[in-house]
Every structure is written in structure tokens, then in C-alpha cells.
A and B are shown apart, each in its own frame.
Chain A
Amino acid sequence: MGERKRMLNLRQRTIAMIIVAILFLFGMVISGFLINADKLTVNLDMKNSAPSVSHLFGTDWLGRDMLARTLKGLTLSMGVGLLAAFLSAGIALLLSLLASWNKRIDSMVTWLIDLFLSVPHIVLLILISFAFGGGFKGVVIGLAFTHWPSLTRLLRAEMLQIKSAEYVGVSHRLGKSRRWIALHHLLPHLIPQLFVGFILLFPHAILHESAITFLGFGLSTEQPAIGVILSESMRYLSTGMWWLAFFPGLSLLLMVALFDLLGRNLKKLIDPFHGQKA
């Protein structure tokens, strides 16, 4: 480690990590898109085969290649995560800007945050996906409505700090409207935090998506989601087909860890004051 430190400084190492993480994630998505459908077709001659050179992750009980299914599943998870994180970040930004308006709205926003944090995530997700009858829509809306509170809390704290800054007070006394201040003083400061928060929402959203799908509330069983693959694999565990669960889960872990790494390094770069502390 000592030698590497001399070669690259912290900033360079951070940027290198970001690039590596992005490359890996891109690789996952692109290979997920490039997989042609014939890899996923039923091939009963090849069923239940253990991992080998031609099927790195083995095949399932219908002879489908697990590597292809896993990559498709990861792409799907990333899509769901992207949509949900985007919606969550939108809600968080809107609420934290609203909270800057006055004391009453601020306490209402805080109350909302407390309300949504008071029910366990999984239970709330089950409830929301039940309300929407499960499926893609239910998962995305559920994830969007359960992941905003922590980010909102962060943005709100940041916003309160900026609001008490001197230049904002000067701006106010110069007769600028609150909307103008929100758009020109608060928003630009919140954007980096929002961006990092958005990336860091991904790991949570993806993990929760697969968990809720695993429980049977999320994406329908025809879709090759990781949660579906894992819950199907449970039926074959006692036959000793370990590869059905091991590799898809490991790939999911890898993707989530990469997003986490990306988020934390971006934070170091964009928001060095908070990022380098942890």
C-alpha cells in the first residue's frame, strides 16, 4: 500500500476508483443488453448442469444459462433502481426546498419524515405494492416513497445552514423574493449533495427491490429479476444445486457494492468536507 500511496494522491486514487466502478457497471448493463434471447431459451439437454466453461454460472432446471439470466436480472434491477432513486431524489429536493419556506411547513416536512421512518421499510413496501397490486409499478412507487426521508433530512439540514449564511440575508434585504433565493442560492448548493445522495440511494433501492421481489410482492415471476431467480432457487436447494443461488446473489452484491463505492468516492470528490470524514 505504501508504494501506491506515493504514486497516486488521494484525489487521483478517488478518481481512479470512480472510473473503475463506472466501467464495471457499464460492462454489466451493456452485456445485459447484448445477451441474445437464444441464451434464455429452454434447453432441456443442458438442464441442471454445474458451472463449467461453456456455462460459467451453470444452468437451471430448464437448461437456461444462469449467467445470461443473472445479467438480464442485474440490468432490470438497475433500471428499477434508477427510476426509484430518481423519483426519491425528486421528492427529497422538493420537500427540502418547501421546508425552507417557513417554520410551519418545515415542521410539517419533519413530521412527514418521522412518519415515513416510523414504519419498517419492508412493511411499508409490502403495503404499497399491495395497494398497487404488485408488479413493476408497485415496486417503483414503493421504493420511491420509502427512500426519500433520509436524503430529505440531509438536504434540509444543509439548506438550513445555507439559509442562515450572511449572503442570503443580504440578498433578502436587497428585496429578492424567496423563490429567487431558493432558486439562486439554495438550489446550486443542494445540487452536489443531491447528486451524491441520488447515487447512494441506488444500493438501498436495488437491495430492497430484490428483497421485495424475493418475498413475492415485486416484479412478476416471468421477469428474470434477481429476486425471482433467488426465490425460485429455494425450491432446488435441497437437491444440492448451489449455483442457482450463489452466483446471482454474488453478482447482486457486487453491483450494489460498486454503486456504494462510486457514491462514496464521488462524495469525497464533490463534497470533501463530509466525504473524507467517514
Chain B
Amino acid sequence: MRYKQLAIFIIRKSIKLATLLIAVSILSFTLISYSPVDPVQSYIGADMTRVSPEQREEIARYWGLNEPKVEQFLNWGKNVLQGDLGTSLLYRSSVTETILERFLASLALMGLAWVLSGLFGFLLGIIAGMKEGTWVDRLIKGYCFTLASTPAFWLGLLFLMLFSVWLGWFPIGLGSPAGVLAEDVSILEKLRHLALPALTLSIVGVANVALHTRQKLIEVLESDYVRFARAKGEHGLSLLWNHGLRNISLPAISVHFASFGELFGGAVLAEQVFSYPGLGQAVVQAGLGGDIPLLLGIVLFSTIFVFAGNLIADLLYKIIDPRIRKGEI
């Protein structure tokens, strides 16, 4: 019985993802096709004078730019279904490869920041919730609200100035030292380059989890069973451990999984500031350089990424929480 429910759940989610991806591709393709940016122009770039109008016409025909928009879309869609996202104009390699390579770099950054901000935010939320109304709570709340108004890229700039320029502890940017072959870069060097962007991203990501956890903990502490536990003489850490932690950890984890979109947005900015060669930097360059295949590819990829986060958040609730498990999946 459970397997059947699970199968229905998976099928329903897959259909949802498929319709979502189709809608997103139609939307983004329509948007891009109205763009005044001429793809041939941005492809040629500086060689403008050396390319004759006939050659331009040739390129446009080769890419099928003269065909009607709908046909262009269908051609592109057919190729995507066969796993071919086209060729990136900027990197002169297949979009799929570029995205995967860039995503691995981003994954290290986002993963580290995600784990750190989750742990730290959860801890802050617990402290604020346990000490509700005191100056500690006020401090943490003020910190979180200030963070919510902080431009992430500005924070990155500050760290860059403080730690790289002034103190000289970390390199100014890039994913690995310049002038060294990729094989020769040690893990330590990579970590040194990862540290500042990851720090920026983690600090920005704390606020959401912390405020959510605080709210949940306060709700739990007002419940009848906690009042009963208090009457029995439990307090402080043992009260938190026995009655609070299990009730607040699940919402915190799912909220954190559901924040993949913001994580991605933060990564775009952090990568730009620290010139870290990840997916975020690629999407900025694709947009500025008119690299349409890459831009479309990253839009689709980031949609899947956000969807995966939301799906995991959903599943966690359904699989772990016994109250929901007993109902229907």
C-alpha cells in the first residue's frame, strides 16, 4: 500500500516538474526572442569589421535565426529532449558540459555555505527562542533583520577589503591561484579561495532559518506538554533536548531546503564579487555577452535545482514526520 502511494507521489511530482519546465522554457524563449540583443552581433563581437554581411547571413541561417520563432523553439525543444542544449558561444563548448563543470564549482561554494548557515542559524534561533524577550533575543532578532536588509554583494566587498586587501589573509578572487596548472592546485589553496565567498553566503543565509526556528521554538514552549514538563521540574537544556529539539528541527530543515532559490541568487552575487568561476558567474556572462543557449540552459538548470530543494523539503515532512505519514502521502 505504501509503495503504491509512493509511486503516485513520484508520478505526480514528475508531471509537475515536466509542466514547469515546459512553461519556463516557453516563457524564457519568448522573452529572449523579443530581446533587442542580436545574437549574431554578440557572437562576432570585436571581429565586426572582418565579417561581411554575407557571412553574417550565413551564420544566421546556420543557427536557423531566419525561421519563424515557433519553429526555432520547437527545434530547440527537440534538441533539449535529446539531451543537447546547444553550444555555448562564450565558452565554445557544449552547454551541458559547461553547466556541469561550473555547477561543481558552485556546488562546493553553495554546499559549504548552506550547511554552515543552517547550523549557525538553527543555533541562533534556539538561543533566541529559549531566551525570548531578553536582550540576547533582541540582539539576535536585530541581527537577523539587519541581515535581511544587507545587500549580499556589498557584504562580499567588505570582506574582500577587510580580509584580502587589508589583512592579506585570503586571495582577492578566482577559484584557484593564477598561473598554476589545474592539476597542481592543492586542496588547501582551493579552500583558501572558497573561504570568503562561502563566508559571505553563509552569513546572508542565517537570517531566515534563525527567525523561523525562533518562532517555532516559542510556539513549542507555549504548548501544554512543555508546561507539564516544566511543572515536573524540567528546565533549560534538558527541556530543550527532550521536548523542543525534535519538534523544531524538521521545520528548520525543510525551510532550509526550500531556500535553494535564494541560495542560488546569493551565489550569483558572491561569485561575481569574488570572480569565482561558478554557475552564477556563467549566467551573468551569458546575459551580458548574449550567449542565448547557455542562458536558456542555466534557466532550466536553476529551475530544476530549486524544484529539487522544494521536493526534498516536501519529502522530509512526509517521510520523517509520523503525524503526516499516517495520513496520506
Contacts and interface: CB of A to CB of B under 8 A. Distances in A.
Decide if A and B are genuine partners: yes
B154 A127 contact: no
Interface in A209-223: 210-211, 214-217
Given A123-B298, A214-B153, A130 B37 contact: yes
Contact of A126 (B146, B152, B284, B306): B284
Interface string B133-154: 0000000000001101111111
A217 B288 CA distance: 7
Contact of B264 (A120, A230, A240, A257): A120
B149 A126 contact: no
Q: Select the residue from A217, A245, A246 with max chain B CB neighbours within 10 A.
A: A245
B273 interface: yes
Interface stretch (B67-75, B86-94, B159-167, B316-324): B159-167
B306 A118 contact: yes
Contacts of B150: 253
Interface of B is mostly: helix
B295 interface: yes
A257 B160 CA distance: 23
B35 A237 contact: no
Q: How large is the interface on A (under 10, 10 to 19, 20 to 34, 35 or more residues)?
A: 35 or more
B299 A127 contact: yes
Interface in B273-322: 273, 283-284, 287-288, 295, 298-299, 302-303, 306-307
Contacts of A44: none
Contact of B148 (A115, A237, A260, A278): A260
A195 interface: no
Interface of A: 114-115, 117-123, 126-133, 203, 207, 210-211, 214-217, 230, 233-234, 237-238, 240, 242, 245-246, 249, 252-253, 256-257, 260, 278
Contacts of A246: 158, 161
B149 A256 contact: yes
A237 B302 CA distance: 31
B178 to A, nearest CB: 14
